[in-house]
Amino acid sequence: MRMLDRALTTVDRVLRPATAFAHCDLPCGVYDPAQARIEAESVKAIQEKHNASDDQEFRIRATMIKEQRADLVKHHLWVLWTDYFKPEHLEKYPQLHDLFWKATKSAGEAKKTNDVAVGQRLLDQIAEITTIFWETKKG
């Protein structure tokens, strides 16, 4: 085999995507809505601290951190929705799609506001998702 052919064969083996067979990124058991809840608790706490402060510098930093945390809430919810929940869960809990849609919308709204009620609504929605999540783990 010529050297160029060997090099191309090696490159082809390295660049060829591997085929994986799984319904989720990792074996089940690694997903937990607690990650989204912890970030949402941070969002609400930052909203409260922001509103209680008169320090403009602090308020700017708080807003930046709150926006990052709200993005993390969305990320954790999307991973849970797209990687954990399956069609049979949606059949048993038909409100699940709407609940995730509302929760991710609330996380997006929390990025834009320091209204603590929005942070609380987000936490309440995550609590509903958590209840359903743990019910699916039982069965």
Quickly tell me which residue has 């969305």 as its tokens. 74
Q: Residue 16: which H helix or E strand, with range?
A: none
pLDDT in tens, 56-75: 999 999 999 999 999 999 99
* Cα-Cα end-to-end distance for the chain: 56
Neighbours of 113 (CB within 10 A): 14
What residue segments make up the domains of the chain, in order of their start?
34-138
pLDDT in tens, 18-35: 554 444 555 556 789 999
Residue 19: predicted pLDDT: 55
> Which is nearest to 33 in space by CA: 89, 78, 98?
78
State the average pLDDT over residues 120-132.
98
Question: Could you tell me if 115 and 47 are in contact, meaning their C-beta atoms sit under 8 angstroms apart?
Answer: yes
Percentage, residues of the chain above pLDDT 70: 79
Superfamily of domain 34-138: Nickel-containing superoxide dismutase (1.20.120.400)
Residue 137: predicted pLDDT: 87
